Amino acid sequence: MVRRLFTAALVLALGSTAAGGLAFWFVCPCERTPGGPLRFAEAAEPITDWAFANEVGLCQLEVQALIPWSVNLNCMSDEQKLYISCARCAGKLWSTAALRNEFGRIAVGDRVYPVRMRRVLDPLELDLAWRARAAKTGRGLNQPRAEHWWSFELSSAAGR
């Protein structure tokens, strides 16, 4: 009898955990909780000026890991370009996937845009992205860019 109760409790706990995980998967990304595929209307037209990204807080980036994986990230625009960034990015699931597969999707506001992702390695361009981030967030204006800080430039891949 005790064994049956334990088994039933274990099945109930696992089922609740799985149901909660699936709910997050379809609702998130939320703050630091990742999610699944982005569920916004997808823009079909190519974007040449990403300045509108500075009008939203965080953006949601979807990459193809084994399954679609999305996260909230800082996004910022300067000189019509779009950048996303993260601290201590090496080894994160989304950044590893972005390095393997350059195509993804980004939600800015309530629309999703197909993009090509390119990790920025040039120090001058990294400084440009850092200043764009600082101008948007108000953080790091008078600080040097941290070595562990990564940035990717995203360009429109609509119609590819």
pLDDT (tens digit per residue) in 93-112: 999 999 999 999 999 999 99
Fold of 41-156: Pnp Oxidase; Chain A (2.30.110)
Q: How many Å apart are CA 136 and CA 151, to the nearest integer?
A: 15
Global pTM reads: 0.81
Contact predicate 115/148, CB 8 Å:
no
**pLDDT 10s digits, 33-90:** 888 999 999 999 999 999 999 999 999 999 998 889 999 999 999 999 999 999 999 9
Amino acid symbol at 101 = N
Instruction: Label residue 24 exposed, middle or buried (CB < 10 Å: 0-12, 13-18, 19+).
Output: middle
C-alpha closest to that of 153 among 75, 100, 97: 75
Between 23 and 154, residue with greater pLDDT: 154
Residue 22 has pLDDT above 50, yes or no: no
Contact predicate 98/119, CB 8 Å:
yes
